[in-house]
Structures are given as C-alpha cells and as structure tokens.
Amino acid sequence: MYIVRIEVYSVRMTKDRILSAAKAVLEHEGIDGLTIRRVAQRAELSPMALYRHFADKDALLNALMEDGIAAWEKIVVGIRARDPLEWLEALGEAYLDFALTQPHRFDAAFFLPAPAARRFPDDFAAGRSRPIALAMARIDQAKADRRLRDKPTLETALALAALGQGIVSMHRANRFAGEKQFKALYRAALRDFLACLRSPGEAQ
C-alpha cells in the first residue's frame, strides 16, 4: 500500500517537474524553443524519461495549454460584477491584466498550437470553455433585459474574445509605440464594441 502511494507521488512530482521546466522554456525561449530536448534538459531528465510522462510533444503542449486555461478560468470565475454589461467590461479588463501580468500562461492558453485546444463552434457551443460559457450567460441576460441587440450569443462572445486576442497579438508583435498606447487602444476598442451591441436607447 505504502509502496504504491510512494510510486504515485513520485510520478506526480516528476510530471510537475517536467511541466515546470516546460513553462520555464516557454518563458525564456518562446514557442519556437519549446522542444522535448530543451524541456528534458531543463528538468534534468533524459528525453526517454520525459516520454514516460508525456507521450509526445503534443501531450506536453496540451498540458501547458490546460494549465494556462485553468489560470484564466480561475480569474474569470472571480469576477464579481453583478450587472451583465459591467461583468463583460470587467472580463475585458481581466483579459488585459492576464496578458500583461502572466504573459507566458496567457500564451499557453491562447497561442500554443495544442491539439486539444477548444475549437469554434462545436466546443464552445457545447460549453467546453467555462469562460466563454460565463460570457454567453451574461450576454443572454443583457439580451433578455433588452439592453443588448438580439445578435447570436455565441458569435458575440467569440467576437469579444477575438477582439482582445487580436489587439494583444499586435502588442506582442511590437505594433504599438508603447504599453500605454496599447492599453488605451485596447480599452477604447472594448468600449466601442460593447457600445455597438447595445440596444437603441440603452444608457451608455
């Protein structure tokens, strides 16, 4: 009994060690530098030892992506705004903060070419992305209150996500003069997007 527990603990510790090494490689060398060899070196393991815990690079990418998504989900669940439109505004601000304060987890969540990444439309329509599902619930609430136009909820939620990710991508590619300009444009674009969705006569 105790031997089994020790073995399970050892496997879990080694897997966590590999994942931590992969995060460090991603942070310092970017997506292009994320190779099995580099991760194994960082974890101080042989590539063959790494393969005992992750079958291939795709499995490692999936684990990194899920770790990033879990971090983002925790942030979204913590948004406390009760008004649905205020909640959506807070979601956009939280996304910006995530991109700036946890850039490598952000990249893992939204930019890694992980095979298990959620895909439009089926995964989102089926509720496999909790952040998108929460956003859709707020959009539906605002539509029911006639505060938003009657546009398809899923497409609206994905457009909001795409807006944020697109502007962050521009920032990553150094398309802004500085972070101040990036933040200003991001927030202005978010306000304009939500304003375009509002029902006629809805107070701004």
What structural domains does the chain harbor? 1-54 (1.10.10.60), 68-197 (1.10.357.10)
What CA–CA distance (Å, rounded) separates 157 from 135?
Answer: 6
Long-range contacts, stretch 117-123, CB < 8 angstroms, 24+ apart: 117/65, 120/158, 121/154, 121/158
Question: DSSP code of 199?
Answer: P
Write down the pLDDT at residue 9: 35
What CA–CA distance (Å, rounded) separates 50 from 42?
Answer: 11
Write down the pLDDT at residue 148: 96
Write down the pLDDT at residue 202: 63
**Whole-Å CA distances, 11 to 52, 105, 183, 189:** 9, 23, 43, 46
Other CB atoms within 10 Å distance of the CB of residue 182: 21
Give residue 204's pLDDT band: very low, low, confident or very high (50, 70, 90). Answer: low
Q: Does residue 32 contact residue 15 with C-beta atoms inside 8 Å?
A: no
* pTM of this prediction exceeds 0.75: yes
Cα angle, residue 142 at apex, residues 140 and 147 outer, rounded to 5°: 135
What CA–CA distance (Å, rounded) separates 152 from 96?
Answer: 25
Q: Does residue 167 contact residue 182 with C-beta atoms inside 8 Å?
A: yes
Q: Which residue matches tokens 């946890």?
A: 102
pLDDT digits (tens, 9 = 90+) for 10-68: 456 688 999 999 999 988 888 888 999 999 999 998 999 899 899 999 999 999 999 99
